């Protein structure tokens, strides 16, 4: 089993994924089978072309289906990363939806959305909102990061990516609840 992050895919022309070199054409489907205690279980990874992914990447993971047919869907957005050797737009996970199929059809159970800021140099996650969809319970966590200026460079603020404040909000119905102490 091999996990590969998007950054090496963008920076290196030949990356190994599940024992193969990624071809120049689109990957339609990959899967892995794990055998434990004599039982084989297969996870399926669906790849689809997306305008939200860099052209050099060609595909983005859009869903993972586990052996019980439960599904996790991913949504990516491009952000320009100032601190990358590639100097390019990179895909960042902005939403994850978890779906349960124990009832026979897929039911959305949990949604996690991440908001990013990159006006201070690197792309930083500033807000994570979690929703339990069946009960419409919503919570969020916000993070502030350090920032500094560099003399001789006007109009830009930078960050060393150190969190300086974190705010956690309680669960609320339809919207995040009160700020927790």
Q: How far is CA 111 from CA 70, 74, 106, 139, in A?
A: 14, 10, 14, 11
DSSP structure class, residue 58: -
Q: How far is CA 109 from CA 66, 102, 117, 139, in A?
A: 15, 11, 27, 14
- Count H helices, E strands: the chain? 1, 13
| Model confidence, pTM | 0.72
Tens of each residue's pLDDT in the chain, 181 residues: 333 333 333 333 333 333 333 333 444 557 888 888 999 898 888 766 555 455 544 446 588 899 999 999 988 877 766 654 555 667 788 899 999 999 999 999 999 999 998 765 678 899 999 999 999 999 999 999 998 888 887 777 778 889 999 999 999 999 999 999 7
Q: What are phi and psi of 133, to 5 degrees?
A: -65, -40
pLDDT of residue 15: 31
**pLDDT tens figures, 142-165:** 999 998 888 887 777 778 889 999
pLDDT of residue 86: 53
pLDDT of residue 121: 67
pLDDT of residue 114: 95
pLDDT of residue 167: 98
Strand partners, 126: none
Specify the long-range contacts of residues 141-144, CB closer than 8 Å, at least 24 apart. Answer: 141/166, 141/167, 141/168, 141/169, 142/166, 142/167, 142/169, 143/167
**pLDDT tens figures, 89-112:** 677 888 999 999 999 999 999 999
């Amino acid at each position: 089993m091999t996990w590969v992050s998007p950054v090496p895919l963008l920076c290196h022309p030949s990356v190994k994924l599940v024992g193969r070199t990624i071809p120049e054409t689109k990957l339609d489907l990959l899967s892995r089978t794990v055998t434990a205690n004599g039982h084989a279980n297969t996870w399926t990874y669906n790849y689809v072309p997306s305008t939200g992914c860099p052209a050099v990447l060609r595909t983005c993971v859009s869903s993972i289906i586990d052996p019980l047919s439960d599904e996790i869907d991913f949504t990516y957005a491009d952000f320009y990363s100032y601190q990358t050797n590639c100097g390019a737009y990179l895909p960042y996970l902005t939403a994850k939806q978890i779906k349960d199929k124990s009832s026979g059809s897929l039911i959305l159970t949990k949604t996690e959305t991440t908001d990013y800021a990159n006006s201070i140099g690197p792309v930083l996650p500033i807000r994570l909102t979690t929703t339990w969809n069946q009960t419409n319970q919503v919570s969020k966590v916000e993070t502030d990061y350090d920032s500094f200026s560099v003399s001789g460079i006007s109009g830009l603020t930078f960050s060393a990516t150190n969190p300086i404040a974190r705010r956690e909000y309680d669960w609320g119905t339809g919207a995040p609840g009160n700020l927790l102490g």
